[in-house]
Amino acid sequence: MPAVQRAPHLAPADSEVEEAIALLAGAKRPVVIAGSGVWWSDCARELEKFIDHTSLPLFTVTMARGAIPDRKKNVFGYADPAINPAVVPIFQQADVVLLLGKRLDYRLALGGPRLFSPQVRIVQVDIHGPELGAVRPIAHGICADLKSTLQVMLRRLGTKPWTPLRSWLQEIRRQKVAYQKSLDELGRQASSPMHPAAFYLRLREGLPKGVLLCWDGGDFVHWGRAMIPANEPGGWLRLGPMGTIGSALPNSLALQMANPGRPVVMITGDGALGFYLAELETLVRYQLPVVILVGNDGGWGLERELQQELTGGATVACELQHTRYDLILQAFGGGGETIEHADQVADALRRGFAAGKPYLINALIQGARSPFTAWQIQGKKR
């Protein structure tokens, strides 16, 4: 069988890159938004060098999550306002946006005034030409491979690092810290059943180094996406725009097979888990020790919140039983347990990783409107 041939890198012209650099260098409130193109072009190393050299603030979304760890300097987390509302005032103030391998789709409010100023100048880099300026005018577009583009940028930047825009970076950091503090404070409030924020506050403290996370959809999951940092390249697997709820279970199977020996955690709601429930048996059959976290609020939480808001309290087909999903996995040959309180999370997680087989933690939680759902409701009211 002949070897697979890689397509040649489509490198931009120096003049294209110089124009982009000039726009960024002249900005007072620039931001960089990186998307899945970072993963597909395998340019995390180049992107990190670019951010280190320019001291520009970086936000990530889709498969760029974790490519540059959130703990790194000048990396400020999720670019998605539905998960990270702290970006809204920042993006609205931005005068130049460098968009790397990310289309202006629904995750970025279609580039509209809900998230960006009409006067913002957008520099967009994408290997797919039709994406450039597809939904709004842009100041400058580069149709090229992202890795090659960043390599040219690094060469044209020279050796002298840019002077950090300290007041702008401080404002971004202030917004980020204030939002995360509000989530943590919510997680410290005692309640029964436990609030999803309380679950994730303890989970964040108990996750092992190098853990790979596989996220499903649903209100419980969105709380976690808002509270857990992305620090591992390729370790933040989400449903794509063509994916549907439930697919995190087969995705986690693949993630564990691709990373033998590494800790893999799948996070889902009770509704989403039902779509591919039989794949629990597949995990056991292939001896894949994924730890599965199920937020069990006995219902379709996101739909329930939306229906209650938009109908004045009435819901249709949103309720489920509080099923013992841990017993289902045990019946397949795996392990598991049910927990009811936040102070049980850390010990359950340790038992899950020590089990050496698929392990399901069935966490009884209260239904609570996530930041994601609040953003959707806000948009429908506009």
d(CA 143, CA 130): 9
At position 74, the amino acid (one-letter code) is: N
The lowest-confidence range among 122-126, 199-203, 367-371 is 367-371
Q: Over 90: is that where the pLDDT of 75 sits?
A: yes
The lowest-confidence range among 43-52, 164-173, 298-307, 362-371 is 298-307
Q: Work out whether the CA dihedral 300, 305, 306, 311 comes out positive or negative.
A: positive
* In the block, residue with structure tokens 């050796």: 159
When pLDDT is averaged across residues 304-321 and rounded to a whole number, the result is 88
Give me the residue spans of the domains in the chain. 14-173, 188-381
Do domains 14-173 and 188-381 share one topology? The answer is yes
When computed from its CA atoms, the radius of gyration of the chain, rounded to whole angstroms, is 22
When pLDDT is averaged across residues 278-304 and rounded to a whole number, the result is 95
pLDDT digit string, tens, across residues 5-30: 445 568 999 999 999 999 999 999 99
What's phi and psi for 330, nearest 5 deg?
A: -60, -35
Does residue 367 contact residue 299 with C-beta atoms inside 8 Å? Answer: yes
The pLDDT value recorded for residue 122 is 98
The pLDDT value recorded for residue 382 is 67
Which residues are registered as beta bridge partners of 99?
Answer: 33, 124
The pLDDT value recorded for residue 270 is 95
CA distances to 96, 105, 121, 232 from 118, in Å: 11, 16, 9, 35
What's the whole-model pTM score? 0.94
The edge-to-edge listing of strands for the beta sheet with 236-237 is: 236-237, 212-215, 264-269, 291-296, 359-364, 335-339
Question: What CATH number belongs to 14-173?
Answer: 3.40.50.1220
**Architecture of the 188-381 domain:** 3-Layer(aba) Sandwich (3.40)
Mean pLDDT across the chain, nearest whole number? 94
When pLDDT is averaged across residues 211-232 and rounded to a whole number, the result is 96
